[in-house]
Structure 1
Amino acid sequence: MKYLKIIAPVVFLLMMNCAAQNTPKGFDTITYEAQTRGSLIQITVEGSKLLYKSNQGEGTKEVSKEQIEELKKVVSELNLEEIANLKAPSEKRITDGALHAEFIIKIADKEYRSNTFDAGNPPKELKKLEDFLYNLSDIKE
């Protein structure tokens, strides 16, 4: 019986630790920037605020708790250490055929920056994140 008093809390702590590891990664800020000569799109999520800016205007929106959780889930599916090495599927930005786009994700004191890619045609690993941010903002691709 006295072993049960020792084993039960240990098992409980192990279960809680495993459950905590399955929660989506948090983030401090996510920034999406796309620009070329004369054009700019910037979408930033920080806390529960979304700030967006484009040539058509700028604004701020509140992001719901559910949307933040979904965004955390999308970020947790990414291998952040590797986003700088992802290859863009097209190269239209080189001839100004598309905006130069990139993601900057800040978590604690670490910054993860993607390679540049054509806006609207990111590496497949980043497509879900780009689509999600455009859906949150009032900016049309």
Structure 2
Amino acid sequence: MKYLKIITPVVFLLMMNCAAQNKTKEFDKIAYEAQTRGSVVKLTIEGNNLSYKTYRKEGAKEVTKEQLEELKAIINELNLEEISNLKAPSEKRITDGALHAEFTIKIADKEYRSSTFDAGNPPKELKKLEDFLYKLSDVKE
């Protein structure tokens, strides 16, 4: 009986901790910005609205519930605390061979900013997110 009094709270705490880790992250805003001299691509999702801006055009469109769910799943795969430390696989942006790109993800009162990378060639952890945003916006890189 004595052991039961000790084991029960420990098991309860472990279960609560596991449940808390499985919660999905609800983002407030996702922003992608890629630019170099004379060229810019900005893609922003807030709520169920996607706004886009390039050197040639700008606009907005509504994001479906299914697309938002897929986007949440992609965000939940990321370790947001570490995206600022991700290493870019190439360095073409240094010589204007590619646009300088970065993500900013806002969840509640916290903002997560990625390291800069070549547009179209992000760190592998961010590739899925970049591809999905371009697909949603119909903007060509």
Using the size of structure 1 for normalisation, the TM-score is 0.85
Q: Which residue identity is paired with 1:22?
A: N
Does 1:97 pair with 2:97? Answer: yes
Q: Which residue of 2 aligns with 1:121?
A: 121
- How many angstroms apart in 1 are the aligned matches of 2:86 and 2:21? 26
- Aligned to 2:122, the other structure's residue is in SS state coil
Q: How far off its partner does 1:23 sit?
A: 4.2
Structure 1 position 70 matched with structure 2 position 70: yes
Number of the residue aligned with 2:33 = 33
Aligned-pair identity (%): 74
Letter of the 1:114 counterpart: S
Residue type of the partner of 2:95?
T
Which ranges of structure 1 fall in alignment gaps of 5 or more residues? 1-10
3-state DSSP of counterpart to 1:42: strand
- Alpha-carbon distance between aligned partners in 2 of 1:69 and 1:106, rounded to the nearest angstrom: 16
- C-alpha separation in 2, matches of 1:61 and 1:24: 24
Amino acid corresponding to residue 134 of structure 1 in structure 2: Y
Separation (CA, whole Å) in 1 of partners of 2:21 and 2:79: 15
- Unmatched runs of 5 consecutive residues or more in structure 2: 1-11
- The 4+ residue runs of structure 1 with deviation greater than 2 A are 20-24
AA in 1 matched with 2:43:
I
Residue 24 of structure 1 pairs with residue 27 of structure 2: no
Shift in Å at residue 106 of structure 1?
0.3
Give the SS at the match of 1:127.
Answer: helix
Partner residue of 1:46?
46
Deviations 1:82-117 (A, max 9, x none): 000000000000000000000000001100000100
Q: Which amino acid aligns with 1:110?
A: K
**CA distance in 2 between partners of 1:28 and 1:86 (Å):** 22
In 2: Cα distance, 1:29 partner to 1:96 partner:
28
Q: What amino acid is the match of 1:27? A: F
* 3-state DSSP of counterpart to 2:89: coil
Equivalent residues, number: 127
